Amino acid sequence: MPTRLPALLLLALCTLTAIGQKAPKPMSPKKVDALEQTALTAMKAKAAELKVQGVAVASFAPGETVDSWTSKMAVVGRMTDPAATDGRGNNMLGIAYAKSGEMARTHVNSGTAPCKAMVAEFCWQGGAIEKVKGGWLVVAFSGATGEQDFAVSQAGLAAMKAGL
């Protein structure tokens, strides 16, 4: 019996320590809204600097996994581009959300994971994701080259992180 006493004391101490710790306070909707808006502002500025147009999306997913999120989008000059040689144009909003969806599943920047695309994923470069305290920051831009889209997304991600 005496050999169990230290183990029981350790268990009690761990239990009391865990009870005393508070769960992280979730980010308020007002704070999330402000972060997303800040990201869009930064993305618009970067797009203007690069002289590109398209669609910017900024999202926040609370928690350890991406089970839900809130997002904001902004058209930065144009939402679609004219018909290509095949007679079809591109819906940049759809592309930006496809990048976001891929990142939600893979937890890596869009177009950088070993590309085993699922239906509705296209492995397009241009989105950025990062795990932060309390959740995930997910930003995507579509409308330019993959490298330019990624630069715009990086500006949005940096702005969101700076606001935390």
Q: What is the block-wise mean pLDDT of the chain (164 residues), using blocks of 10 residues?
A: 51 48 76 97 98 98 92 97 80 95 93 74 91 96 97 98 96
Q: Which domains does the chain have, with CATH numbers?
A: 24-162 (3.30.450.150)
26: DSSP letter: P
25: DSSP letter: P
Positive or negative, the CA dihedral 163, 124, 92, 52 is: positive
Q: What is residue 128's predicted lDDT score, i.e. its pLDDT?
A: 98
Q: How does strand 54-62 pair with strand 135-142?
A: antiparallel
Which H or E element spans position 67? none
Q: What is residue 15's predicted lDDT score, i.e. its pLDDT?
A: 47
56: nearest Cα among 70, 42, 35: 42
By three-state DSSP, how is residue 43 classified?
helix
Q: What is residue 5's predicted lDDT score, i.e. its pLDDT?
A: 52
Q: What is residue 120's predicted lDDT score, i.e. its pLDDT?
A: 66
By three-state DSSP, how is residue 127 classified?
strand
Q: What is residue 114's predicted lDDT score, i.e. its pLDDT?
A: 75
pLDDT tens string 91-129: 999 999 999 999 999 999 999 867 776 776 788 899 999
139: nearest Cα among 2, 41, 67, 49: 41
Q: What is residue 34's predicted lDDT score, i.e. its pLDDT?
A: 97
Greatest Cα-to-Cα distance within the chain, rounded to the nearest angstrom = 83
Six token digits for residue 73? 């989008």
**Distance (Å, rounded) from C-alpha 91 to C-alpha 80?**
5
Q: Residue 162's beta-bridge partner residues? A: none
